[in-house]
Amino acid sequence: MTADFWSEKRVVVTGGAGFLGSFVTARLQERGAREILVPQIEHYNLTDKASIIQLYTDAIQPVEKLPAHLKSAAFQPSAFNLKPENLVVIHLAANVGGIGANREHPAEFFYDNLMMGAELMHQAYKHGVGKFTAIGTVCAYPKFTPVPFKEDDLWIGYPEETNAPYGLAKKMMLVQSQAYREQYGFNSIFLLPVNLYGPRDNFNPKSSHVIPALIRKAVEAQESGAKEIVAWGDGSPTREFLYVEDAADGIVTATETYNDSDPVNLGSGYEISIKNLTEMIIRMVGFEGKLVWDTEKPNGQPRRGLDVSRAKERFGWSAQMNFEEGMKRTIEWYRQNKDKIR
User: In whole numbers, what is the pLDDT of the chain averaged over residues?
Assistant: 95
Of 82-96, 97-111, 115-129, which gets the smallest average pLDDT? Answer: 97-111
Catalytic residues: 166
pLDDT in tens, 273-309: 999 999 999 999 999 999 999 999 888 778 889 999 9
Distances (CA, A) of 180 to 122, 132, 153, 170: 8, 11, 22, 16
Nearest Cα to Cα of residue 101 among 177, 190, 212, 2: 212
**Gap between the Cα atoms of 133 and 254, Å rounded:** 8
Domain ranges of the chain: 2-202+240-271+303-321
- Partners of residue 10 on adjacent β-strands: 35, 87
Enter the pTM of the model: 0.94
What is 2-202+240-271+303-321's CATH topology?
Answer: Rossmann fold (3.40.50)
